[in-house]
Amino acid sequence: MLVLGISGSPRPEGNTARAVQRALEVIRGEGVDTEYISLAGRNIGFCTGCWGCRATHTCVIDDDMTEIYEAMRRCDGLLLGSPVYMGMVTGQLKAMMDRTVLLRVGGVFELSGKVGAGIACGGFRNGGQELVLQNIHTYLLQLDVLVIADGPPFSHSGAAIAGVIEQDELGLRTVDNLARRLAAAVKRCRGR
Ligand SMILES: Cc1cc2nc3c(=O)[nH]c(=O)nc-3n(C[C@H](O)[C@H](O)[C@H](O)COP(=O)(O)O)c2cc1C
């Protein structure tokens, strides 16, 4: 069992990177293996809408997505983190999301049955974290991935951080809770 965590921040050691890596640490503590990918510094071109992937389930663009496709295919759970940029996910994460359309073309949903969850990190308390989580959840649903939220005791839309992660005690609890929920969901989905 494997959970893949992806940070959609251009900052390799920023709040989102730290949030995703913290969640992965909690997930490992629950006995589930993890893999981490940061989109910082990655070469990820925009989808051009050529639909070459319809026939081949591969992309005509040769860049860092190749590695990400394989990681997404082999994981059982997918954890996506994004900073809030102008109330939405980052361009880096959206570029990655669009390129994964090949995982759902031609009536084949390659990620069906996997579970997924989101983490949003904003500078402000109500800076758009909920919309970012909705962006991530909508994306996961498009891939037929089962969406997990943070669950009790708070049970809102997922994990949300405001400001510097280490100073956001409540936000950290949503990250930890989400991580435990995701680990449990992966185990349930894999019949363990
Ligand atoms: C271009 C840009 C736009 C941003 N827009 C928002 C925003 O709409 N709402 C918000 O709360 N924070 C916003 N921020 C702040 C970041 O979301 C925040 O600093 C976050 O923790 C950065 O994550 P990182 O450390 O993983 O890069 C913005 C930052 C940048 C650079």
The whole-number mean pLDDT for each consecutive block of 10 residues of the chain, a chain of 192 residues, reads 98 98 98 98 98 96 98 98 98 98 96 97 97 98 96 92 98 97 94 70
Neighbour tally for 11: CB within 10 Å: 15
Please tell me the distance between residue 24's alpha carbon and the centre of ligand 1 in angstroms.
22
pLDDT of residue 192: 62
Q: Can you name the residues that pair with 162 across neighbouring β-strands?
A: 122
Give the angle 118-25-28 at the CA atoms, nearest 5°. Answer: 100
Q: How many Å apart are CA 121 and CA 139, to the nearest integer?
A: 18
Please tell me the distance between residue 78's alpha carbon and the centre of ligand 1 in angstroms.
22
Q: How many Å apart are CA 82 and CA 59, to the nearest integer?
A: 24
Q: How many Å apart are CA 183 and CA 33, to the nearest integer?
A: 9
pTM confidence score:
0.98
Residues enclosing ligand 1, CB less than 6 A?
Answer: 9, 11, 14-17, 83-87, 121-124, 127-128
pLDDT of residue 92: 98
pLDDT of residue 46: 98
Task: Judge: domain 2-189, CATH 2.60.260.20.
Answer: no
